[in-house]
Amino acid sequence: MNKVYEIVRVEGRGFVKRRMLDMGLTPGVKVKIVRVAPLGDPLDIVVRGYNLSIRKNEASLVIVREVTR
């Protein structure tokens, strides 16, 4: 889980996409998954230096690529 990812794009439309972008999940930003709840929902991530919990279905709209160090 200590992998770093870069956001490639955010899919979806309307309110959900706007909300994701407003939370800082924008292309080019690096994110790190820090915890997955026991049943897989929600996911705790670090983005732009702050912690954020998002639902699994919302996370599926964020297309990422793994950053190699």
What domains are there in the chain, each with its CATH number? 4-66 (2.30.30.90)
Question: Measured between alpha carbons, how far is 28 from 48 in angstroms, rounded to an integer?
Answer: 11
pLDDT tier at 1, thresholds 50, 70, 90: low
pLDDT at 15 over 80: yes
Q: Is the pLDDT of residue 64 over 80?
A: yes
**Which pTM was predicted?**
0.85
Q: What is the CA radius of gyration of the chain?
A: 11
- pLDDT tens for each residue of 23-62: 999 999 999 999 988 888 899 999 999 999 999 999 999 9
CB under 8 Å to 20, separation ≥6 — which residues?
10, 12, 54, 58, 61, 62
Statement: residue 67 has pLDDT above 70 = yes
- The phi, psi pair for 16, rounded to 5°, reads -65, -45
Per-residue pLDDT at 55: 92
Burial class (CB in 10 A: 0-12, 13-18, 19+), 13: exposed
